[in-house]
Chain A
Amino acid sequence: MKTVRLPLALLSLMALAACSAPPGTWGWYVIDPSTPSGWTNVKFLLRGFSSTIQISVLAAAASIIIGLFVALPAFAQSRWLRLPNRIYVEFIRAIPLLPMLFWVFYGLPVVLRSMGMNLSIDPFWGAVITLALSDSAFTAEIFRSGIQAVPRGQAEAARTIGLTRAQAMRYVILPQAVRRILPPLANQFIYIVKMSAFASVIGMEELTRRANELVVTEYRPLEIYTLLIFEYLLLVLIISAGVRWLERKMGADESR
């Protein structure tokens, strides 16, 4: 029920604003699906979903893989093996998303070219790489804390039945850490979806970029950005419903 209450409250608030505003404030015709031009505009905006979703899913998947590989050295015995983990996390975490996006999109191809790789990075992959990198520092920390939360006795018991450290991690520690890791990881996914809006500034035709373009031609920012907000709201609500389902499932599993 909670999921429904928030958008309802927002809607009624806006309805209130619409009613009390002087005539001419709202011009819903611009995205009115019952008129041909309004319907064209709505379709144009909704088509942004596919890029936003693709970028978010790819970036999240990459971030999880990078995060795991960044997190694992944190459990090495040697200080020198642990060091790269700390440097990566502290460094990546400190870079704001937008500057990093500019660096990856405009700067990285230059670096690659100097290394003899003639790769250009299009807005789509620029966005995926940036979001994945930026988020991976946080996923790495989520992995680390999840793994550290598994009691020490588990690793010790694994050791006394002859498992190597890697086997203990794979068969004993990680399966137990996963249930602590999944919920915060899913929350992180919500973050990625919202941050993918930045891809609009390097020309990626996702939700935000399309809204911007339509605003320029139709000159109706209020209505178009309102719809834009609801587009993100819809995505995030779907994800949070998924997160809650996951948490319930994990919780049920825990109590067995």
Chain B
Amino acid sequence: MAHVSKWYDDFQVLRDITLDVDHGEKLVICGPSGSGKSTVVRLLAGLETHQEGTIRLHGEPVDAQGRGDVGMVFQQFNLFPHLSVLDNLMLGPMRALGMPKLDAHDRAMAYLERVRIPEQAGKRPGQLSGGQQQRVAIARSLCMDPKLMLFDEPTSALDPEMIAEVLEVMEDLARDGMTMICVTHEMGFARRVADRIAFMDAGEIVEVEPPDIAFAAPKSERFAQFLDKILKH
């Protein structure tokens, strides 16, 4: 994305954002709340519009992407509560890709295995724990064979003991070479997985660094203060 700016009425939420993510790269975006990091991810998912600049994925604008090419995992899971876990996963492949039911079923089960909850396939999302729901949400996105996975604070709504199981699944995914952009405050995850960490504040990208440099010697004062605050506890 290049020189992207966005306003809500008079309020500028993004200021001249320029960001390149390579195929297979893992980028972590962090920053204080209200810094615009969610907005960046939502723009890439095609859920928001912007006023200035260009966003391209594989050379194409966001709205020209194939159906389900950009997967998104939300803070609040957003599973479909009226459908079983299995039907949540099969809906996209069947309706958006026109896949036959049996194939969609096999694919859904394969991804449920991958997020390690095949035994929950018949349950409703409401019967699962938060961590399980978020893993189902990840599997639901994967069922569409996305080229890019976006994560918008995927562990922020979870109890501490469930964060690890979701992060593990995400690390698995990273090892398999998925291109990932994650908004998260899990700095341990960032250190282990990220190729680069982008720090955002007040609608700007302040700094983009590989994790070892970011944690050892952040260049900007704001990033240093932010890291200091969240690494303290």
Residues of A within 8 A of B (CB): 151, 153-154, 156-164, 167, 171-172, 175-176, 256
Contact = CB atoms under 8 A, between A and B. Distances in A.
Give the 8 A-B residue pairs with the shortest CB-CB distance, closest first.
Answer: A162-B67, A162-B96, A162-B68, A161-B92, A157-B78, A153-B78, A160-B72, A175-B82
Contacts of A154: 78, 80
Interface string B78-107: 111110000000011001110000000000
B81 A176 contact: yes
A151 B125 CA distance: 15
Nearest to B69: A162
Contacts of B76: 153
Overall SS of chain A's interface = helix
Nearest to A160: B72
Given A156-B47, A157-B78, A176-B81, A162 B126 contact: no
A56 to B, nearest CB: 30
Contact of A160 (B45, B66, B80, B124): B45
Nearest to B65: A162
Given A162-B96, A172-B91, 6 more contacts: A158-B80, A160-B46, A161-B91, A161-B140, A161-B141, A164-B96
A171 B47 contact: no
B47 A159 contact: yes
Contacts of B78: 151, 153-154, 156-157
Interface residues of B, number: 30
Contacts of A156: 45, 47, 72, 74, 78
16 contacts: A153-B74, A156-B72, A156-B74, A157-B72, A157-B78, A159-B47, A160-B68, A161-B91, A161-B140, A161-B143, A162-B67, A162-B68, A162-B96, A162-B144, A172-B91, A176-B81
Interface in B40-76: 45-47, 66-72, 74, 76
B92 A176 contact: no
B127 interface: yes
A171 B95 contact: yes
Q: Which of A153, A156, A161, A164 has the most CB of B within 10 A?
A: A161
A166 B69 CA distance: 19
Interface in B187-205: none
A162 B45 CA distance: 11
Contacts of A160: 45-47, 68, 70-72, 141
B96 A172 contact: no
B81 A161 contact: no
Contact of B126 (A161, A167, A176, A256): A256
Given A176-B81, A176-B82, A256-B127, A163 B74 contact: no
Contacts of B95: 162-163, 167, 171
A176 B80 CA distance: 9
B129 to A, nearest CB: 16
Contacts of B96: 161-164, 167
B120 to A, nearest CB: 14
Nearest to A161: B92
B62 to A, nearest CB: 12
A141 B116 CA distance: 44
A77 to B, nearest CB: 10
Contacts of B70: 160
A161 B46 contact: no
B80 A163 contact: no
A167 to B, nearest CB: 5
Contacts of B46: 159-160
A160 B65 CA distance: 11
A172 B81 CA distance: 9
